[in-house]
């Protein structure tokens, strides 16, 4: 409710200012507000803090929707911090004598869901900080596996006496609308290439196919094993012992978590603050918490200001979201816009190398192919490296194949080499409500794209021909770019998804590594030595433009914190909204075979 009122208040203030000052006056005011914001100053003996609810975004600021009004009213950023900013800030803090420690608090359960691959890179940065002989403290009243995967890196893990720790394994629940669509009178005819390409199943079935259950089980096993292995390395436990905890306890009370070795101490937050005050050697009674601190989002500005931008440019291009045709919107990989961007970077002599940070389940087959072509041309002109985030599957993987080297995290979700199409019709729905059609045509197939009836077997065969051609081209592309035998690619394709670990083993990925590893590899391939810097693309929208857009937007965002029912409804809405991104002109899609919700 507080966030809602802030949005309403901000909109009203904007309207009043607009009427009273006029547009020009408002621009001056916006400029004054943005320019007068003081730059963060780091004091001696400062503790760096991060609220897990804020989240870490795999993408750069140019691909995220921002909310400047909430930021101005709250006095702090409300959007997730980009992964590269967060990692760079932690690495800077490790050698910054003014920073004495890090405090991780809260839970990511109510905020943005950060993927496991993103968490791993952030966790690796935290481990570097800890290895610099600076402590990390983690505290909460409740964590799930995703939170604990990150916070287990802490020097001391502390839980509130009334808290709990969910450590019962990973689960993936698929949603099916097939029977509901049938009851509504909507029929969906699937066309696909690859027995594991299950993206059509939510609209045609009421349960998973055996192939889909198999691939999801294998994938979850890989992701869970990585969680067990990583957590065990910092908790003086074995993966087997952690699995026993998951099987026998599931959700642990604070004292049970301590007894099991997952938590170091059970304490109230004021006791943790006292520890941090001692660490910071603070006797500041004017501070509400008793110690000098700075949020990670603010420290990002410090790290950016102190970074060296001399030398040659390595372009970092964020490909984040569903792949769609045309210009798309923020949060999507638009075929025309992205192809144009890569083309400009290829032709820019100041850009010596390109790194593609891919976090996408795929999408339009036509747009994916157009982007992949531009990547191929870019690779012929200068080094191009692909770095996979949480997901780089189907069309996302298709784009990555054109890079000279592909990096992935062990828990990246990739592969899904396959193609599918969905052909809906509303004949029964319309007929049941008294609606009929009468067609006049000059060719046998003139009305084959209609929604008024099902496709005939001959028409389905025509559609299948396009799917098969795209699939064959996809397999050929992988075989050529990855230098693998055709049959070997055929065996690992079929729309099946793989973890980063398995993808490397079967030849789909070259190296397991971070975004920083990929950037370093690009610089080495371009023979830049140590004299280079990173420029991120696409560029972020200027603050003033964001502020004006937010002031006069009629959209009101939902609060980050939602109850369980609201979250589940939102999940259903997200599943259904996938249909809106299916805009390929041929109706063909290289997309992840499922929307993977991991709990």
Q: What is the pTM of this model?
A: 0.82
pLDDT at 219: 93
> What span, in angstroms and rounded, lies between the C-alpha atoms of 367 and 346?
19
Domains 40-168+249-307 and 178-206+309-539+583-591 share a fold: yes
| Cβ atoms of 158 and 138 closer than 8 Å | yes
Q: State yes or no: pLDDT of 8 exceeds 80.
A: no
Average pLDDT rounded to a whole number, residues 9-17: 51
Q: State yes or no: pLDDT of 408 exceeds 90.
A: yes
pLDDT in tens, 495-516: 899 999 999 999 999 999 999 9
pLDDT in tens, 51-104: 998 889 988 765 555 554 444 444 444 578 999 999 999 999 999 999 999 999
> What span, in angstroms and rounded, lies between the C-alpha atoms of 122 and 147?
12
pLDDT band of residue 11 (cuts 50, 70, 90) is low
Q: What tokens were used for 62?
A: 């140019």
pLDDT band of residue 2 (cuts 50, 70, 90) is very low
pLDDT at 261: 95
pLDDT at 309: 76
Cα 523 to its chain centre, rounded Å, is 25
pLDDT in tens, 221-241: 999 999 999 999 999 999 999
Q: Show Cβ contacts of residue 375 under 8 Å, excluding neighbours closer than 6 positions.
A: 342, 356, 384, 399, 402, 403
> What span, in angstroms and rounded, lies between the C-alpha atoms of 240 and 392?
30
pLDDT at 130: 96
pLDDT at 194: 81
Architecture of domain 178-206+309-539+583-591: Alpha-Beta Complex (3.90)
| Cβ atoms of 58 and 320 closer than 8 Å | yes
pLDDT at 19: 47
Any idea which residues carry the catalytic annotation? 197, 394
Q: H or E element: which one contains 121?
A: helix 116-130
Q: State yes or no: pLDDT of 444 exceeds 90.
A: yes
> What span, in angstroms and rounded, lies between the C-alpha atoms of 202 and 572?
12
C-alpha separations of 322 from 129, 141, 400 in Å:
34, 35, 15
Which CATH number is correct for 40-168+249-307, 3.90.1150.10, 3.90.226.10, 3.30.360.10, 3.40.640.10? 3.90.226.10
pLDDT at 235: 92
Domain boundaries defined on the chain: 40-168+249-307, 178-206+309-539+583-591
In 3-state terms, what secondary structure has residue 424?
strand
Of the candidates 308, 270, 303, the one whose C-alpha atom is nearest the C-alpha of residue 289 is 270
Q: State yes or no: pLDDT of 173 exceeds 60.
A: yes
Of the candidates 109, 256, 236, 255, the one whose C-alpha atom is nearest the C-alpha of residue 246 is 256
């Amino acid at each position: 409710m507080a966030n809602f009122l802030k949005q309403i208040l901000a909109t009203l203030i904007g309207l009043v200012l607009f009427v009273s000052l006029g547009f020009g006056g408002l621009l001056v005011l916006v400029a004054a507000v943005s320019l007068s914001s003081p730059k963060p100053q780091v004091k001696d003996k400062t503790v760096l803090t991060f609220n897990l609810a804020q989240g870490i975004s795999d993408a750069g600021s140019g691909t995220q929707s921002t909310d400047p009004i909430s930021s101005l009213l709250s006095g702090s950023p409300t959007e997730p911090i980009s992964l590269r900013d967060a990692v760079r800030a932690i690495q800077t803090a490790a050698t910054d004598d003014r920073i004495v420690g890090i405090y991780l608090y809260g839970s990511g359960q109510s905020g943005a869901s950060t993927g496991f691959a993103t968490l791993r890179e952030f966790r690796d940065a935290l481990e570097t900080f800890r290895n610099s002989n600076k402590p990390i403290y983690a505290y909460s009243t409740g964590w799930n596996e995703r939170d604990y995967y990150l916070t287990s890196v802490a020097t001391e893990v502390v839980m509130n006496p009334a808290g709990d720790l969910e450590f019962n394994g990973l689960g993936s629940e698929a949603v099916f609308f097939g029977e509901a669509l049938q009851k509504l009178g909507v029929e969906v005819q699937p066309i696909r290439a690859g027995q594991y390409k299950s993206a059509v199943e939510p609209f045609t079935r009421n349960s998973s196919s055996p192939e889909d259950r198999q691939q999801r089980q294998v994938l979850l096993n890989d992701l869970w094993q990585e969680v067990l292995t990583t957590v065990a390395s910092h908790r003086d436990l074995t993966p087997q012992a952690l699995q026993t905890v998951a099987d026998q306890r599931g959700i642990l009370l604070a004292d049970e978590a301590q007894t099991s070795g997952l938590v170091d101490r059970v304490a109230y937050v004021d006791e943790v603050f006292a520890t941090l005050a001692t660490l910071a050697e603070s006797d500041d009674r004017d501070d509400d918490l008793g110690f000098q601190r700075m949020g990670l989002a603010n420290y990002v500005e410090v790290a950016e200001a102190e970074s060296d931008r001399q030398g040659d440019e390595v372009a970092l291009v964020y490909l984040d979201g569903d792949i769609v045709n045309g210009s798309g919107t923020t949060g999507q990989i638009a075929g025309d816009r992205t192809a144009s961007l890569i083309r400009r970077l290829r032709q820019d002599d100041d850009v010596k190398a390109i790194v593609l940070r891919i976090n996408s389940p795929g999408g339009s087959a036509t747009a994916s192919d157009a982007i992949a072509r531009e990547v191929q041309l870019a690779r012929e002109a200068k080094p191009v490296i692909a770095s996979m985030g949480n997901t780089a599957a189907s069309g996302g993987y298709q784009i990555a194949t054109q890079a000279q080297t592909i990096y992935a995290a062990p828990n990246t979700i990739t592969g899904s080499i396959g193609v599918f199409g969905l052909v809906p019709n509303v004949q029964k729905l319309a007929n049941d409500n008294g609606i009929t059609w009468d067609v006049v045509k000059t060719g046998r197939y003139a009305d084959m794209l209609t929604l008024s009836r099902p496709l005939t077997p001959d028409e389905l065969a025509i559609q299948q021909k396009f799917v098969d051609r795209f699939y064959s081209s996809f397999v050929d592309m992988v075989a050529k770019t990855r230098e693998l035998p055709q049959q070997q690619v055929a065996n690992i394709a079929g729309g099946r998804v793989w973890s980063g670990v398995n993808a490397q083993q079967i030849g789909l990925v070259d190296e397991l590594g971070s975004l920083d590893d990929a950037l370093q590899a690009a610089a080495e391939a371009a023979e830049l030595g140590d004299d280079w810097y990173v420029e991120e693309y696409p560029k972020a929208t200027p603050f003033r433009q964001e502020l004006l857009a937010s002031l006069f937007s009629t959209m009101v965002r939902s609060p980050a914190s939602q109850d369980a029912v609201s979250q589940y409804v939102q999940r259903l809405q997200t599943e259904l909204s996938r249909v809106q991104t299916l805009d390929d002109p041929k109706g063909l899609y290289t997309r992840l075979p499922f929307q993977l919700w991991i709990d």
